[in-house]
Amino acid sequence: MTVVTSRELKQQIGYAREAAKSGPVFTTHRGRPAHVPLSIEEYRRLAGQRRSLVEALSMPGLADVDFDLPRIRIETPLPDLD
């Protein structure tokens, strides 16, 4: 897995292109994951498959990616029974 900033991607597209041949290349924007350029072969492989969210999140290389979802609170109003 390779991680580059958006600026590095603009300056070194050839490096990212080569790195994508061996695995995902995560680009960050202001320190947060933003995009994942893929090789066309990997795109075709992924596009042709249907898999569960668990399978997608367990692909190699993703263990090193910080993935924090914001906590939300969903409240349902109680019905007025008067």
**The model scores a pTM over 0.75:** no
Q: How confident is the model at residue 18 (pLDDT cuts 50, 70, 90)?
A: confident
pLDDT of residue 19: 81
Q: What pLDDT is stored for residue 63 in this prediction? A: 66
Residues 61 and 24 sit within 8 Å (Cβ to Cβ): yes
Could you give the CA distance from residue 65 to residue 36 in angstroms, rounded to a whole number? 12
pLDDT tens digits, residue range 24-82?
888 888 888 888 877 777 777 878 777 777 777 776 666 666 767 788 888 888 888 87
In three-state form (DSSP H/G/I as H, E/B as E, the rest C), the secondary structure along the chain is: CEEEEHHHHHHCHHHHHHHCCCCCEEEEECCEEEECCCCHHHHHHHHCCCCCHHHHHCCCCHHHCCCCCCCCCCCCCCCCCC
